[in-house]
Amino acid sequence: MPAYFSLTFELKKTHDAIGAFCRALIHSGLTFKSGYWGFENDSFEDMIQWNQKKLDENFELGEKEHHSHDYKQFVFDYFDFSEVRLFIMNNRKESTFTFELIVPKDDLGEYEEKENGKYSVQRNTKRMEQLKSLAKNVWIHSSVLAIQTSWECSSCPPAAEKIAAGMKPQAEPFCILNSSSLKNETDFVFAKNITCPVCDQSFQTLTVRTSKIRFAGSDDDFRPVYKGIDTIKYGVTSCPHCGYSAMNGDFVHVSSTQIRLLKEQIAAKFKPGSKSVPLLYSYDEAIDRFKLALFSAIVKRAMYSEKAYICLKLSWLYRGLIEQLTADGISTESEELVSAQKAEKYYYKQALDGMTRAVATEHFPICGMNQDTVDLLLAQMNYKLDHLDVASKLIARVLISKSASRHIKDKALDLKNEIIKKIRDVK
């Protein structure tokens, strides 16, 4: 049962973000009442200065930090709501943060929980309209990137860049977004003609328009994020005639021996399906294509690095699927979500094992990466799988490397601090 209804306002981290937003709230109809949780006597300006200092320090609130270190929470009056409270959530690795404005669910009237875990308000639409009006005014008078709404215990609203990459926004019951963030994924792909080196048949495959995509950042393990599209879904070319599949850059690079093996073990048993090209690839379709690529790599006796890289991208695809399911409000206990989580971990482990073997048996560059980059990637992967001793050794190697770039060393230093923190938490 939810206790609160939340409006999530996402903003860029700037040196005047707190004051500008809070004054936009006042302009939009809220009245400052007090601080909260021991800070009831603080003035409005005191609250702003305290919170801005915390934001400038890039403080991250976690489960083990004491509330005295937290951002100070604001209490406002707004029409006849029994409580209107504002607090900040910040991840120090992100370039944005969020303000959470919460009101008691009881203020919005009776509600019922649906089968999908979402909630439907049955009465007091007047108060909901008041919140919508507030959101519209804040959108006009501030520099917020996105406004999303949710009931407590719902999944966390995705960041604006994730929405731009294709994730569904949290809209229970409404959201406000820049229309540019809702650009259709089909705008970024086109059908390209390919000739299969195994069966010599021509076909079409979807390819990303690289001139149109915009890079939005990356996960710690180098998984790229682009606005409006998950480009990883389009990383495999798969022949609909014979079944041969490979990552785009490797598709045409097959020897005569490999062609023979692929014909004997894949083409001879492959049952061609539809030759038509879809408008886009779903996660399920992309995952199937990558699994075919992995099978082809095994059959043609590809190097460890090629197989490992396919496994890594498979794990990233499952991660993208998990994000999509979460944004859709799928229960954390649903079979679909649990299965995706298990698959992500399985292929991640396979990728780590294969990449570790590649480092021991192959020459650099490996998958287009030099040794320092591969060492950092392996350190991140070992860290995620709780192999902290191995991760620490790899990080040490990166930090003392004379060839490692400043960017790589900075990332390695960040990971070193994360490892130290994780070890302390375990103890």
115 vs 129: which has the higher pLDDT: 129
Q: Rounded mean pLDDT of 322-342?
A: 84
CA 256, 257, 262 angle in degrees (round to 5)? 95
- Tens digit of pLDDT for each residue in 119-150? 554 556 789 999 999 999 999 888 899 999 98
pLDDT of residue 194: 96
Is residue 92 very low, low, confident or very high in pLDDT (cuts 50, 70, 90)?
A: confident
- Tens digit of pLDDT for each residue in 42-59? 999 999 999 999 999 888
Tell me the C-alpha distance between 144 and 138, whole Å: 8
pLDDT of residue 340: 95
Burial 120-146 (b: 16+ CB within 10 A, else e): ebeeeeebbebbbebbebbbebbebbb
Instruction: Check whether 165 has a pLDDT greater than 70.
Output: no
- Helix and strand numbers, DSSP H then E, in the chain: 11, 15
The model carries a pTM of 0.65
- Chain centroid to Cα 268, Å, comes to 40
Instruction: Check whether 154 has a pLDDT greater than 80.
Output: no
Q: Rounded mean pLDDT of 226-255?
A: 95
Q: Rounded mean pLDDT of 308-323?
A: 96
- Tens digit of pLDDT for each residue in 168-187? 788 888 899 876 666 678 88
Instruction: Check whether 427 has a pLDDT greater than 80.
Output: no
- Please state, rounded to an integer, the average pLDDT across all residues of the chain: 89
Peptide bond into 365 cis (omega under 30): yes
What is the dihedral sign for C-alpha 310, 311, 317, 320? negative
pLDDT of residue 217: 86
Question: Residue 301 region, left (φ>0) first, then alpha (ψ -120 to 50), else beta?
Answer: left
Structure tokens at 81: 């709501």
Instruction: Check whether 413 has a pLDDT greater than 50.
Output: yes
Instruction: Check whether 118 has a pLDDT greater than 60.
Output: no
pLDDT of residue 246: 98
- Tens digit of pLDDT for each residue in 184-227? 788 899 999 999 999 999 999 999 999 999 888 899 999 999 88
Min mean pLDDT across 115-124, 381-390, 402-411 is at: 115-124
Q: Rounded mean pLDDT of 298-320?
A: 97
Q: Rounded mean pLDDT of 260-285?
A: 90
pLDDT of residue 47: 94
